[in-house]
C-alpha cells in the first residue's frame, strides 16, 4: 500500500511539474516577442496547415445546416448577389481579370479567389462562412449587418458564376435592370438591418 502511494505521489508530482513547465514555457514564449506577427511575411507552413485544417473541420461541423431558399438560383438572386459581391467582397476576393486591391494584397492569410472555375462553393457551406466570418482572419461576419436573404444571394452568385469572364461579370454588376434603369449599388449601409 505504501509502495502504491509513493508511486502515485511521484506520478502526480511529475505531471504537475510538467504542466507548470509547459505553462511557464508558453508564457515565456508569448512574452518574449520571438513570434513574428507581421502580415508581410507568410505563416510558418506547419502552422498554416494546422489553421486551415481547423477551419475545414469547424466549417463541416457547424456549417451546412441552414436551408437554402427554393428560388436560390433565380436570375434576380444571382444578379443581386453579383452587385453585393462587387461592392463588398471583391476588395479581398478579387474580380475576374482585375488587379487585386491594396487591402486584398495586404491581408495574411490571403482570401481565396472565390470565382475560380475549379471551386465547388456549395451554397449551404459558403452561406455559413459569409454569415459568421472566420475568426483570426480578415473574413468578416456579414450576418452582423445583413439579412439572410442578402447572404443567400451572394452565396448563389459565387456558386452559379464560378469561372465567370470579365465581360459577363461586368455585365451583371453594372447591368441594366428589367425596368430599364441602372442597377443600384449594393454597398452596405452602416447600421443596415440584421437578421
Ligand atoms: C477584408 C477582407 C475580406 C472581405 C471584405 C471578404 N472576405 Fe471572404 N475571406 C477573407 C479571407 C482572408 C478568407 C480566408 C479565411 C481562412 O483562411 O480561413 C475568406 C474566406 C471566405 C470564404 C470561405 C472560402 C473557403 O474556401 O472556404 C467565403 C465563402 C467568403 N470568404 C465569402 C466572402 C463574401 C461573399 C464576401 C462579401 C460579402 C467576403 N467574403 C468578403 C477575406 C475577406
- Residue whose CA lies nearest to ligand 1 atom number 9: 139
CA of 89 to the centre of ligand 1 (A): 7
Q: Which of 29-43, 56-70, 74-88, 164-178 has the lowest mean pLDDT?
A: 164-178
Place of cell 486551415: 52
Report how far residue 55's alpha carbon sits from residue 16's, in angstroms, rounded to the nearest whole number. 32
For residue 142 and ligand 1, the question of a CB distance below 6 A is answered with yes
Instruction: Decide if pLDDT at 190 tops 80.
Output: no
Which residue from 111, 156, 161 has its CB within 8 A of the most atoms of ligand 1, so it is best to mutate?
Answer: 111
Per the rule left: phi > 0, alpha: psi between -120 and 50, beta: everything else, 159 is: alpha
3-state secondary structure of 186: coil
Q: What is the dihedral of CA 124, 128, 130, 136, to 10 degrees?
A: -140
Fold of 46-174: Cytochrome Bc1 Complex; Chain D, domain 2 (1.10.760)
Place of cell 453594372: 174
Instruction: Decide if pLDDT at 191 tops 50.
Output: no
Write down the domain spans for the chain.
1-31, 46-174
Rounded (10°) angle between helices 45-62 and 123-132: 110
**C-alpha cell of residue 52:** 486551415
CA of 129 to the centre of ligand 1 (A): 7
Whole-prediction pTM value? 0.86
Report how far residue 138's alpha carbon sits from residue 181's, in angstroms, rounded to the nearest whole number. 35
- Residue whose CA lies nearest to ligand 1 atom number 21: 139
**C-alpha cell of residue 103:** 487591402
What whole-number percentage of the chain has pLDDT above 90?
A: 83
pLDDT for res 176:
59
CB 112 within 8 A of CB 121: no
CA of 139 to the centre of ligand 1 (A): 5
- The per-residue pLDDT of the chain, averaged, comes to 90
Nearest atom within ligand 1 for CA of residue 142: 38
For residue 156 and ligand 1, the question of a CB distance below 6 A is answered with no
> Average pLDDT of 69-97?
98
Select, from the ranges 41-55, 92-106, 179-193, the one with the highest average predicted confidence (pLDDT): 92-106
3-state secondary structure of 1: coil
Report how far residue 194's alpha carbon sits from residue 191's, in angstroms, rounded to the nearest whole number. 8
Amino acid at each position: 500500500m505504501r509502495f502504491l502511494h509513493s508511486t502515485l505521489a511521484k506520478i502526480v508530482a511529475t505531471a504537475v511539474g510538467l504542466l507548470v513547465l509547459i505553462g511557464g514555457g508558453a508564457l515565456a514564449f508569448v512574452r518574449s516577442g520571438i513570434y513574428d506577427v507581421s502580415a508581410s511575411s507568410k505563416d510558418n507552413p506547419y502552422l498554416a496547415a494546422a489553421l486551415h485544417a481547423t477551419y475545414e473541420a469547424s466549417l463541416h461541423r457547424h456549417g451546412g445546416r441552414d436551408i437554402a431558399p427554393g428560388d436560390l438560383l433565380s436570375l434576380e438572386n444571382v444578379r443581386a448577389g453579383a452587385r453585393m459581391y462587387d461592392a463588398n467582397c471583391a476588395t479581398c476576393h478579387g474580380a475576374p481579370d482585375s488587379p487585386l486591391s491594396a487591402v486584398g494584397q495586404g491581408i495574411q492569410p490571403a482570401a481565396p479567389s472565390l470565382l475560380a472555375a475549379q471551386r465547388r462553393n456549395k451554397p449551404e457551406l459558403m452561406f455559413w462562412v459569409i454569415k459568421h466570418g472566420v475568426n483570426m482572419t480578415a473574413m468578416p461576419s456579414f450576418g452582423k449587418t445583413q439579412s439572410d436573404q442578402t447572404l443567400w444571394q451572394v452565396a448563389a452568385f459565387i456558386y452559379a458564376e464560378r469561372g465567370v469572364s470579365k465581360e459577363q461579370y461586368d455585365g451583371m454588376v453594372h447591368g441594366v435592370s428589367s425596368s430599364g434603369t441602372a442597377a443600384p449599388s449594393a454597398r452596405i449601409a452602416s447600421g443596415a438591418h440584421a437578421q
